[in-house]
């Protein structure tokens, strides 16, 4: 393994760790907020997920661009990166909405069921898109 390959691997490990910390916190907050709004405010679960998406998207952009991927890619076309981030975040939102629709609406499960794939599936999608496309 060359020195450059080692450096790239270390950068990737650092990004995964930072994304795990920041993204993990955001994911838990999104999942908890979705469930709390749906459960305790008796708001339709799909509407709850939409409200949570609107609240947390801006916070996610700031934290991921300044922490998770701070040393990855170029920073000269901020408007392109911003649009790509919102597209990626929307893909995560659509993924989460699918889990809510399938598990609560179609299968008739409790509102907490989608929390599991929201925490364990969606972050894999968004990390990959963020690293390769948004901040790459």
pLDDT at 121 over 90: yes
Site of tokens 């405010």: 41
- Which of 58, 57, 60 minimizes the C-alpha distance to 19? 60
Mean pLDDT within 53-61: 90
- Which of 29, 120, 136 minimizes the C-alpha distance to 88? 136
Mean pLDDT within 99-103: 97
Q: Which residue has the higher pLDDT, 124 or 19?
A: 124
User: Does the pTM of the predicted model rise above 0.85?
Assistant: no
Q: What is the count of structural domains for the chain?
A: 1
CA 122 to chain centroid: 6
Mean pLDDT within 49-73: 85
Query: Which residues, other chains included, contact 18 with Cβ-Cβ below 8 Å and sequence gap of 6+?
Result: 67, 68, 69, 70
Q: Which two tokens stand for residue 35?
A: 């469930």
pLDDT of residue 71: 67
pLDDT of residue 18: 86
């Amino acid at each position: 393994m060359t020195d450059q390959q080692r450096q790239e691997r270390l950068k990737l490990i650092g990004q995964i760790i930072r994304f795990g910390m920041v993204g993990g916190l955001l994911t838990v907050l999104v999942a908890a907020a979705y469930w709390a709004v749906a459960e305790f405010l008796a708001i339709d679960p799909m509407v709850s997920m939409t409200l949570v998406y609107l609240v947390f998207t801006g916070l996610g952009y700031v934290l991921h661009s300044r922490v998770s991927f701070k040393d990855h890619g170029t920073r000269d076309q901020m408007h392109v990166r911003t649009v790509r981030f919102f597209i990626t975040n929307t893909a995560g939102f659509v993924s989460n909405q699918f889990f809510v629709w399938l598990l609560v609406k179609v299968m008739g499960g409790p509102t907490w069921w989608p929390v599991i794939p929201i925490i364990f599936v969606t972050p894999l999608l968004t990390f990959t898109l963020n690293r390769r496309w948004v901040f790459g």
